Amino acid sequence: MFLSHDKDRDAIQKVPGGERSVKSTILETGAAMTQDFSPLKGICAHLNAFHVYSSDPCRVVEANHYCGHLTEDVRQCLLYDSPSPGARLIGIEYMIKPHLYETLPQNERRLWHSHVFEVKSGMLVMPQPSALVAQSLWEHAETSEMTEVIKLYGKVYHLWQVDRGDKLPLGEPQLMTSITSPHQIQGLDVVMDNRDKKFPGCDWRRKKELRATMEEPNIHPDADHTWKK
């Protein structure tokens, strides 16, 4: 006997295996009631943007970031292929402030990317959690968050190459990077338009306007190395 489970609906066509059994669901529910998931409770922001493979920048992957602050200067994010309960964990990203980035050796700095274009273009968004939250209030909160993210450097690895249809996380971790110019990806406007349709009230063009006067930090010359090879 099998019990249909909301968490299975997204994954069932993408990942090997059937829906979870009643036994599995009961065990999961019991664990959720009795265990402490403290590391996950630190997640405080959902961000959505696009990454490209450092080894093949033509390949674009949408990533939902669920991020928490370890300190004022270091963040860590779990990356999923969608915001649904059945989403696949596809990677991780770390974000640090410039003063920490500048202490790294050059070979390490080249693994990190900037967030300036992501923010200013409207590509990086913080999806509105509920229609009950006023659009103006959410835009203010999102813009405030972006004034912090625009300064950060990120280091991201994807573990599951969902863009090529892999049913399981195969191969070695893949270093990813951000897009730093609209000319790097053909049809980027269409890619962002399609993303916006998934999130009510999301409009990258409006976000671009709201962020037009946002101060841009200087980007270290070693960052975004993929585009300089």
- Determine how β-strand 89-96 pairs with β-strand 174-177: unpaired
Contact (Cβ atoms closer than 8 angstroms) between residue 152 and residue 113: no
Q: What is the pLDDT along the chain (229 residues), one digit of tens a residue?
A: 233 344 445 555 677 776 766 655 655 666 566 677 788 888 889 999 999 999 999 999 999 999 999 999 999 999 999 999 889 999 999 999 999 999 999 999 999 999 999 999 999 999 987 777 788 888 889 999 999 999 999 999 999 999 999 999 999 999 999 999 999 999 999 999 999 999 988 999 999 999 999 999 999 999 999 999 8
Residue pair 187/150 in contact (Cβ under 8 Å)? The answer is: no
| Per-residue pLDDT at 29 | 64
Q: What is the pLDDT of residue 8?
A: 47
pLDDT for position 3: 34
Q: DSSP letters of the chain? A: -B---TTHHHHTTTSSS-PPBHHHHHHHHHHHHH---HHHHTEEEEEEEEEEESS-TT-EEEEEEEEEESSSSEEEEEEESSSSTT--EEEEEEEE-HHHHTTS-HHHHTT-EE-HHHHHTT-SB---S-TTS-HHHHHHHHHHHHHHHTT-EEEEEES--GGGT-SS--SS-EEEE---STTSSTTHHHHHHHHHTTSTT--HHHHHHHTTTPPPPPPPTTSSGGGG-
* 74-80 vs 174-177, strand pairing mode: unpaired
pLDDT of residue 137: 86
Q: State residue 40's pLDDT score.
A: 80
3-state secondary structure 205-216: HHHHHHCCCCCC
Q: Is the pTM of this model over 0.85?
A: yes
